């Protein structure tokens, strides 16, 4: 009978034969050995830092277990169990993990998310079957898909995937709570850096666009605002220095262009005012030229006395010359005596050789020249 060695890997019972690995899996979060009861996997307690150049991360607590991957000096490892000089730690996020596509349903292609659709599936260190099992993922688990090759998906390690490493080559870094805070802050900083870079690229593109315009049509107000926004959002000294240099170059140029635009606006405004006045005057002249004349004649009202043979006691004269005699049944001509007026009415003939008469039905006092 083949002798077997038994160890726990974050919730799985793994029986290692001399040349092969046969895996027995229990529900997620639990570990089980023959003849013992189920025990819940410990929650993360602390975080350690690797102190040697390259540290083996193994499938179990001992040097006789296969190496899952190498961990570099300075990397942080989340500890979930401490056992006789060995630490059980979560698989680092940058570990390559592969699962077969046929057991995963893509649920969000935009976010690259998938869900395991069978009871348990193997997680492997390379996209091929064989003795490269890192652990297992249970049905219903959501995974982040980071790549694919043939019939395999590469995923970000889930929290239940763990390995073992020698405790003597690590040192205490801090609590798990502090680690989460640092990771969260790092993620925020990375997002802010990415956002700042996007804004910087936008500013650079707008800057190039402005350079293509004639000098006096350029405007750098938006470009300057974007460079300043990068400085507000970014902690990258090199990027901020680039933006500061751009600002130092462009602010004097924008000030000159701003003054030029003020002059142009004023000149344009003055020009528009003159053009409007000229246009209004032309329209008035055109209106007068095309509008029907409201009067038959304009002139001064004078008295000629009531003499026999004269057609009227009043006349309309201009420059000492009689234009018309005036008669009206509606208006008292005495009220318009010595006034400059405009009159309208029916024009009638008198005796040959005499001036014509206007039978006035409209008379207005005017200003001379109207």
- What mean pLDDT is predicted for residues 205-221? 90
Domain extent listing, the chain: 46-176, 213-291, 297-365
Residue with tokens 């410990």: 42
The string of pLDDT tens digits covering residues 151-202 is 999 999 988 888 899 999 999 999 989 999 998 998 888 898 899 999 999 9
Structure tokens given for 360 = 């006035």
Between these two residues, 319 and 41, which has the higher pLDDT value? 319
Give the distance from CA 323 to its chain's centroid. 79
Q: Is the pLDDT of residue 130 over 70?
A: yes
Q: Is the pLDDT of residue 353 over 60?
A: yes
Instruction: Give the C-alpha separation, 293 to 306, whole Å.
Output: 31
Instruction: Give the C-alpha separation, 322 to 87, whole Å.
Output: 129
Between these two residues, 153 and 29, which has the higher pLDDT value? 153
φ and ψ of 69, to 5 deg: -170, 170
Q: Is the pLDDT of residue 13 over 60?
A: no
Contacts by residues 302-309 (CB-CB < 8 Å, ≥ 24 positions apart): 302/337, 302/338, 303/337
The string of pLDDT tens digits covering residues 298-331 is 999 999 877 666 788 899 998 888 889 999 999 9
Structure tokens given for 364 = 């207005």
Give the distance from CA 350 to its chain's centroid. 88
- Residue 133 CB neighbours (<10 A): 19
8 Å CB contact between 155 and 98: yes
Geometric angle at alpha carbon 12, from 9 and 17, rounded to 5°: 85
Residue 197: partners with Cβ closer than 8 Å, 6 or more residues away: 234, 239
- Of the CA atoms within 13 Å of residue 45, those in its CB half-sphere come to 10
Between these two residues, 264 and 206, which has the higher pLDDT value? 206
Question: Which residues are paired to 149 by β-bridges?
Answer: 152
User: pLDDT band for position 66 (50/70/90)?
Assistant: confident
Q: In what order do the strands lie in the sheet with 120-124?
A: 104-108, 113-116, 142-149, 152-155, 97-100, 120-124, 133-138
- Of the CA atoms within 13 Å of residue 229, those in its CB half-sphere come to 16
Q: Give the pTM.
A: 0.48
φ and ψ of 121, to 5 deg: -130, 155
Tell me the three state secondary structure of residue 265.
Answer: helix
Tell me the three state secondary structure of residue 249.
Answer: helix
Confidence at residue 291, expressed as pLDDT on a 0 to 100 scale? 62
Instruction: Give the C-alpha separation, 220 to 231, whole Å.
Output: 17
User: pLDDT band for position 52 (50/70/90)?
Assistant: very high
CATH number for the domain running over 46-176? 2.30.30.40
User: pLDDT band for position 21 (50/70/90)?
Assistant: very low
Sign, CA dihedral 311-312-317-323, equals negative
8 Å CB contact between 356 and 345: no
């Amino acid at each position: 009978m083949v002798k077997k060695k038994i160890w726990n890997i974050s919730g799985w019972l793994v029986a290692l034969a001399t040349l092969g690995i046969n895996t027995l899996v229990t529900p997620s979060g639990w570990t089980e050995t023959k003849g013992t009861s189920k025990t819940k996997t410990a929650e993360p307690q602390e975080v350690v830092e690797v102190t040697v150049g390259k540290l083996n991360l193994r499938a179990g607590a001992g040097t006789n277990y296969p190496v899952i991957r190498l961990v570099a000096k300075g990397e942080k490892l989340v500890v979930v169990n401490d056992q006789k000089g060995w630490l059980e730690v979560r698989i680092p996020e940058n570990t390559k993990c592969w699962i077969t596509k046929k057991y995963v349903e893509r649920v969000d292609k935009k976010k690259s998310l998938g869900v395991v659709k069978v009871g348990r599936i193997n997680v492997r260190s390379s996209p091929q079957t064989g003795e490269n099992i890192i652990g297992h993922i249970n049905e219903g688990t959501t995974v982040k898909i980071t790549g694919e090759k043939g019939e395999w998906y590469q995923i970000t390690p889930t929290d239940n995937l763990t390995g073992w490493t020698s405790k003597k080559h690590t040192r205490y870094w801090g609590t798990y709570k502090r680690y989460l805070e640092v990771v969260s802050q790092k993620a925020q900083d990375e997002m802010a850096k990415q956002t700042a870079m996007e804004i910087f690229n936008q500013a650079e593109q707008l800057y190039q666009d402005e350079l293509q315009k004639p000098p006096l049509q350029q405007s750098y107000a938006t470009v300057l605002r974007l460079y300043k926004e990068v400085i507000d959002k970014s902690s990258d000294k090199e990027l901020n220095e680039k933006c500061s240099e751009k600002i130092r170059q462009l602010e004097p140029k924008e000030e000159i262009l701003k003054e030029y635009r003020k002059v142009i606006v004023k000149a344009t405004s003055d020009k528009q005012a003159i053009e409007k006045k000229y246009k209004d005057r032309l329209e008035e002249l055109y209106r007068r030229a095309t509008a029907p004349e409201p009067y038959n004649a304009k002139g001064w009202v004078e008295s000629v006395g009531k003499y026999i043979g004269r057609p009227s006691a009043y006349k309309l004269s201009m420059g000492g010359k009689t234009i018309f005699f005036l008669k009206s049944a509606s208006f008292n001509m005495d009220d318009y005596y010595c006034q400059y007026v405009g009159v309208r009415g029916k024009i009638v003939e008198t005796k040959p050789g005499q001036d014509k008469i206007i039978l006035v039905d409209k008379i207005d006092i005017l200003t001379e020249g109207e």
